[in-house]
A and B are shown apart, each in its own frame.
Chain A
């Protein structure tokens, strides 16, 4: 086989139907199917539990719900807080992840590239409580004076309306912590895609006299586009569900959502709110928290399914050939 030729993709389906399977094949097929079914069962079980436990909250009257304005008005600001912090984290992490992935795959000398990849992966292994503590005691104080500056000079933008928090435990800080936390997974997905850019496509650019950056723009980025989207959505999914770090970092003191990122009055996120309120709740209040958890479950599921769909579409990216 000469180089440059491809092996035709082999497929498990080439085996004719009904042909006898060996014992090993049958065992493997059986256990794989079993594992798949088990996962679906667990997922369905979780959903059933959430619905069952949330049910009393759905049927409760308005004044039984904490806050006294009904379930929807209780969860809605939390959902917005969740979406705001996660989206903000994504906006910070995704471009950085693309830059890191590009550096690791196409700029760094080989001796540097591998260790750098490792270090980024290691970030994923740090427990989220550590990130929370770091955000609380190191990052938050650092943000106080820049936040003051933002409030003073860019206060006309709703995001920086101020007054700036004096502790730095703001939405902005929480989003930065989240961004650091989701950086590894996004980077890993994108790096993988960039590494797989077909040499054929890269050479098409080189041969036209592209510089390295032009080659990346012509060949690497288009090939990696769906992975950039998919990886970002996976990261978003994680940011939505992150609990401890947000619960520690964010100073929660408001019931109404606002776009103000640097003030001391913030709504919680759904996950952080559950963590903070659960120990002291009883009765319907618990069901309310679980109902908010159900909402988070659905949103996260949708985001992850979207991410998977986008990533899988890349498989059909046959390229030129």
Chain B
């Protein structure tokens, strides 16, 4: 539960293209870390190195170190599949398994992890996950209906329920609210704040107010220059980043005076 991530000198490549260079940061457990920055600066790319999804792109690779507590995520004997079971991820667009029921969506990860779970244990975990995702009351009467029949905001909370059902150590979110209306966004923001009691949360967002509302720490990514790789400009307490940042580029970006 809730582990610390320690990233040092991470260079991220797509084949020969260096997309992100020299990222070092510490992500505290039981906190929300927001990653902000202009489009194309490598926020998603960086996020996907934290659960080793990055290497699913052909020829993509990573140099540097990512520690999760005492474990080196890129160590020679580490199975990326196992890493992903401990580091959950929620995507920009809700992606429940369309042919599966609400119940089966939440149970999907559980079934991968533990093939012989008792039905009653499974029911309990599904309910607990849906409750944690603030979705239980809305779907408890239609657990057997397809997950794709829910509204966009409900689908996204279903995806969060699916991710937390396997009780990961870290939860990554890549613009989880950008496809949602303000009400659904509010529901998910509340949820994120609740979830940080148990999880380490890293969220990418383009919404400055959102970062301020929900995050404890904010990291600002930027391109060094056009054609140069993206890099972490600074990372600090959210209040500091938004009121008194250490870097003028950060100040320009958060105050909307960018570019």
Contact = CB atoms under 8 A, between A and B. Distances in A.
Interface of A: 2, 4, 110, 200-201, 203-211, 214, 218-219, 222-223, 225, 317-321
Contacts of B95: 200-201, 203-204, 320-321
6 contacts: A203-B56, A207-B163, A214-B112, A218-B97, A318-B148, A321-B93
Contacts of B230: none
A203 B56 CA distance: 9
Contact of A209 (B148, B159, B166): B166
B97 A210 contact: no
B91 interface: yes
A318 B100 CA distance: 13
A320 B81 contact: no
A273 B86 CA distance: 63
Contacts of A206: 53, 56, 84
Contacts of A204: 91, 95-97, 159
Given A208-B112, A209-B113, A222-B97, A203 B91 contact: yes
B53 A203 contact: yes
B19 interface: no
A218 B155 CA distance: 17
Contacts of B51: 207
B99 interface: yes
Given A110-B58, A219-B97, A321-B93, A211 B81 contact: yes
- Which has the most chain A C-beta neighbours within 10 Å: B83, B96, B100, B112? B112
B109 interface: yes
A222 to B, nearest CB: 4
Contact of B94 (A214, A223, A318, A320): A320
Contacts of A222: 97-100
Nearest to B53: A206
Contacts of B88: 207-208
Contacts of A214: 112
A7 B155 CA distance: 21
A223 B100 CA distance: 11
Given A209-B86, A222-B99, 19 more contacts: A110-B58, A201-B97, A203-B56, A203-B91, A204-B91, A204-B95, A207-B51, A207-B91, A208-B163, A209-B81, A209-B85, A210-B112, A218-B108, A219-B97, A319-B148, A320-B93, A320-B94, A320-B97, A320-B148
Interface residues of B, number: 34
B81 A210 contact: yes
Contacts of B82: 209
Contact of A201 (B98, B109, B155): B98
- Which has the most chain A C-beta neighbours within 10 Å: B51, B86, B93? B93
Contacts of A223: 98-99
Contacts of B53: 203, 206-207
A198 to B, nearest CB: 8
Nearest to B110: A208
Contacts of B112: 208-210, 214
A208 B29 CA distance: 20
A204 B89 CA distance: 8
B74 to A, nearest CB: 16
Contacts of B58: 110
A192 to B, nearest CB: 19
B92 interface: yes
B147 interface: yes
A219 B96 CA distance: 10
Given A208-B112, A209-B81, A319 B56 contact: no
A76 B96 CA distance: 49
Interface string B153-166: 00100010011001
B247 interface: no
B39 interface: yes
A216 to B, nearest CB: 13
B93 to A, nearest CB: 6
B94 A321 contact: yes
Contacts of A219: 97
A223 to B, nearest CB: 8
Contact of A320 (B39, B109, B155): B155
Contact of B166 (A200, A208, A318, A319): A208
Interface string B137-171: 00000000001100000010001001100100000
A4 B93 contact: yes
